[in-house]
Amino acid sequence: MNILDEIVSAQDGAAVRQIGSQVGLPPDQTAAALAALVPALAAGFQRNLGSAGGLDSLIAALSSGAHRHYLDNPDTLREESATMDGNGILGHLLGSKEVSREVANRASAQTGVSADVLKRLLPLAATLMMGAFARQSGRTSPAATGAGIVEMLTPLLDQNRDGSIVDDVTSMIGRFMKSS
């Protein structure tokens, strides 16, 4: 299952309904917004996984944090700590508020959802991604966790379906960095 499917299907869509209600979107628009945001976040995760110590840092965060509860109990997404966690994750993934704004602007152009709404949704989407990764790491050994996470990200990142994500991730990161 890819990362977006894991998020959308969690608790029969409860996480999607919860974050949608927080930003004033119905579930179908929330799912569309997530579909537009998650690939950019996935590219950030992929970039971090490829950096020195990136996989070890992610595994440490997953094993020491309680990210899984955001998917297992979506009501926790209402707590300020969920947004704070998400903003911390975004800092690691995207590096700056300017890149986060650009991600929201691009998603707005794709979905018709206001960029301001998407900026509020972005940290919650990042929190949900970490929750999905935490679920994955709970299913496998630490050695298999990295492979499982890459497997969850690949369908979203191989945009041209050529079997390689390198060209797609490089292009995506280049677009985001150029516009910031």
User: Is the C-alpha dihedral spanning 77, 67, 137, 167 positive or negative?
Assistant: positive
Residue 132 and residue 69 in contact, taking contact as beta carbons nearer than 8 Å:
no
- 0.95 surpassed by pTM: no
Residue 7 CA: distances (Å) to CA of 11, 56, 164, 175? 9, 23, 24, 25
Give the DSSP per-residue string, 23-40. HT--HHHHHHHHHHHHHH
For residue 138, give the nearest of 76, 43, 59, 48 by alpha carbon: 59
Q: What's the mean pLDDT in 83-94?
A: 88
For residue 11, give the nearest of 73, 88, 60, 95 by alpha carbon: 73
Q: Crossing angle, helix 14-23 and helix 115-139, to 10 degrees?
A: 160
Domain ranges of the chain: 3-179
CA–CA separation, 122 and 34 (whole Å): 8
Classified as helix, coil or strand, 115 is helix
Residue 154: pLDDT over 50: yes
Summarised one tens digit per residue, pLDDT across range 16-50 is 999 999 999 999 999 999 999 988 888 888 777 77
For residue 135, give the nearest of 37, 15, 54 by alpha carbon: 15
Neighbour-count burial of 159, counting CB atoms closer than 10 A to its CB (0-12 exposed, 13-18 middle, 19+ buried):
middle
Out of 27-31, 54-58, 66-70, pick the least confident. 54-58
Residue 15: pLDDT over 80: yes
Residue 82 CA: distances (Å) to CA of 11, 19, 116, 120, 129? 17, 11, 18, 12, 12
Residue 129: pLDDT over 80: yes
